[in-house]
Amino acid sequence: MELIARKKIDVRFSEVDSMGIVWHGSYVKYFEDAREEFGRQYNFGYLRMFEEGFFTPLVKLDFNYKKPLIYGDKLIAEIRYKPTEAAKICFEYIIRSAKDESVMVTGSSVQVFMNKAYELVWIKPNFYLDWQSEHQVL
Protein backbone atom coordinates (compact mmCIF):
# COMPACT_ATOMS: atom_id res chain seq x y z
CA MET A 1 0.00 0.00 0.00
CA GLU A 2 1.36 3.45 -0.92
CA LEU A 3 0.88 6.36 1.46
CA ILE A 4 0.83 9.65 -0.42
CA ALA A 5 -0.24 13.16 0.57
CA ARG A 6 -0.48 16.32 -1.52
CA LYS A 7 -0.64 19.96 -0.50
CA LYS A 8 -1.26 23.04 -2.66
CA ILE A 9 1.01 25.98 -1.87
CA ASP A 10 1.26 29.53 -3.24
CA VAL A 11 4.78 30.78 -3.93
CA ARG A 12 5.16 33.80 -1.66
CA PHE A 13 7.38 36.85 -2.16
CA SER A 14 9.52 35.91 0.86
CA GLU A 15 10.46 32.62 -0.88
CA VAL A 16 12.03 34.08 -4.02
CA ASP A 17 15.37 35.66 -4.85
CA SER A 18 15.97 39.03 -6.53
CA MET A 19 15.12 37.50 -9.93
CA GLY A 20 11.71 36.33 -8.71
CA ILE A 21 12.77 32.65 -8.80
CA VAL A 22 12.14 30.40 -5.81
CA TRP A 23 15.28 30.39 -3.68
CA HIS A 24 16.67 26.87 -3.18
CA GLY A 25 16.22 27.02 0.60
CA SER A 26 12.48 27.50 0.17
CA TYR A 27 12.14 23.92 -1.03
CA VAL A 28 13.00 22.79 2.50
CA LYS A 29 9.83 24.61 3.63
CA TYR A 30 7.75 23.00 0.87
CA PHE A 31 8.99 19.55 1.85
CA GLU A 32 8.19 20.38 5.47
CA ASP A 33 4.68 21.51 4.51
CA ALA A 34 4.23 18.17 2.72
CA ARG A 35 5.49 16.25 5.79
CA GLU A 36 3.03 18.10 8.02
CA GLU A 37 0.17 17.32 5.63
CA PHE A 38 1.23 13.67 5.61
CA GLY A 39 1.20 13.70 9.41
CA ARG A 40 -2.33 15.12 9.48
CA GLN A 41 -3.67 12.61 6.98
CA TYR A 42 -2.02 9.52 8.45
CA ASN A 43 -1.81 10.38 12.18
CA PHE A 44 1.96 10.54 11.99
CA GLY A 45 2.78 14.12 12.92
CA TYR A 46 5.58 15.62 14.97
CA LEU A 47 3.44 16.11 18.07
CA ARG A 48 2.58 12.42 18.07
CA MET A 49 6.28 11.53 17.88
CA PHE A 50 6.99 13.82 20.80
CA GLU A 51 4.08 12.44 22.82
CA GLU A 52 5.43 8.94 22.19
CA GLY A 53 8.77 10.07 23.64
CA PHE A 54 10.78 10.67 20.47
CA PHE A 55 12.31 13.33 18.28
CA THR A 56 12.74 12.58 14.57
CA PRO A 57 15.58 14.76 13.30
CA LEU A 58 16.46 14.93 9.63
CA VAL A 59 19.77 13.27 8.84
CA LYS A 60 19.57 13.43 5.05
CA LEU A 61 17.82 15.77 2.64
CA ASP A 62 18.24 15.75 -1.15
CA PHE A 63 16.87 17.97 -3.93
CA ASN A 64 16.94 17.61 -7.70
CA TYR A 65 15.92 20.78 -9.53
CA LYS A 66 14.18 20.32 -12.88
CA LYS A 67 12.49 23.67 -13.64
CA PRO A 68 12.23 26.97 -11.79
CA LEU A 69 9.19 28.17 -9.90
CA ILE A 70 8.58 31.91 -9.81
CA TYR A 71 6.77 34.37 -7.60
CA GLY A 72 3.02 33.97 -7.94
CA ASP A 73 3.14 30.35 -9.11
CA LYS A 74 1.07 27.73 -7.36
CA LEU A 75 2.63 24.38 -6.63
CA ILE A 76 1.62 20.97 -5.41
CA ALA A 77 3.95 19.36 -2.87
CA GLU A 78 3.57 15.59 -3.00
CA ILE A 79 5.09 13.27 -0.43
CA ARG A 80 5.35 9.48 -0.57
CA TYR A 81 6.29 7.28 2.40
CA LYS A 82 9.05 4.75 1.59
CA PRO A 83 8.97 1.75 3.94
CA THR A 84 12.27 0.45 5.29
CA GLU A 85 13.37 -2.28 7.67
CA ALA A 86 15.60 0.17 9.54
CA ALA A 87 14.56 2.38 12.46
CA LYS A 88 14.13 5.45 10.29
CA ILE A 89 11.49 7.32 8.32
CA CYS A 90 12.05 7.81 4.59
CA PHE A 91 10.07 10.03 2.23
CA GLU A 92 10.24 10.94 -1.44
CA TYR A 93 8.93 14.26 -2.73
CA ILE A 94 7.74 15.71 -5.99
CA ILE A 95 7.07 19.43 -6.36
CA ARG A 96 4.77 20.02 -9.32
CA SER A 97 3.43 23.11 -11.01
CA ALA A 98 -0.26 23.38 -10.11
CA LYS A 99 -0.85 24.77 -13.60
CA ASP A 100 0.02 21.63 -15.57
CA GLU A 101 1.42 19.17 -12.96
CA SER A 102 4.86 19.29 -14.58
CA VAL A 103 7.69 18.18 -12.29
CA MET A 104 9.72 21.10 -10.94
CA VAL A 105 11.73 19.46 -8.14
CA THR A 106 12.17 15.95 -6.76
CA GLY A 107 13.80 14.95 -3.53
CA SER A 108 14.01 12.68 -0.54
CA SER A 109 14.56 12.79 3.19
CA VAL A 110 15.59 10.46 5.98
CA GLN A 111 14.70 10.94 9.63
CA VAL A 112 15.86 8.87 12.59
CA PHE A 113 14.43 8.29 16.03
CA MET A 114 16.03 9.92 19.02
CA ASN A 115 14.77 9.55 22.58
CA LYS A 116 14.28 12.52 24.90
CA ALA A 117 17.78 11.97 26.30
CA TYR A 118 19.02 12.77 22.74
CA GLU A 119 20.19 9.20 22.16
CA LEU A 120 19.83 7.55 18.77
CA VAL A 121 17.30 4.69 18.80
CA TRP A 122 18.47 1.69 16.78
CA ILE A 123 15.25 -0.37 16.80
CA LYS A 124 11.82 0.73 15.65
CA PRO A 125 9.70 2.09 18.50
CA ASN A 126 6.54 0.08 19.20
CA PHE A 127 4.22 2.92 18.17
CA TYR A 128 6.01 3.06 14.78
CA LEU A 129 5.67 -0.69 14.28
CA ASP A 130 1.97 -0.42 15.16
CA TRP A 131 1.54 2.50 12.74
CA GLN A 132 3.27 0.57 9.94
CA SER A 133 1.06 -2.46 10.60
CA GLU A 134 -2.10 -0.35 10.67
CA HIS A 135 -1.21 1.15 7.27
CA GLN A 136 0.09 -2.14 5.85
CA VAL A 137 3.56 -0.74 5.09
CA LEU A 138 5.78 -3.18 7.00
For the annotated catalytic residues, the residue numbers are 17
* Dist. CA 54–CA 96, nearest whole Å: 32
Closest by Cα among 106, 112, 132 to 44 = 132
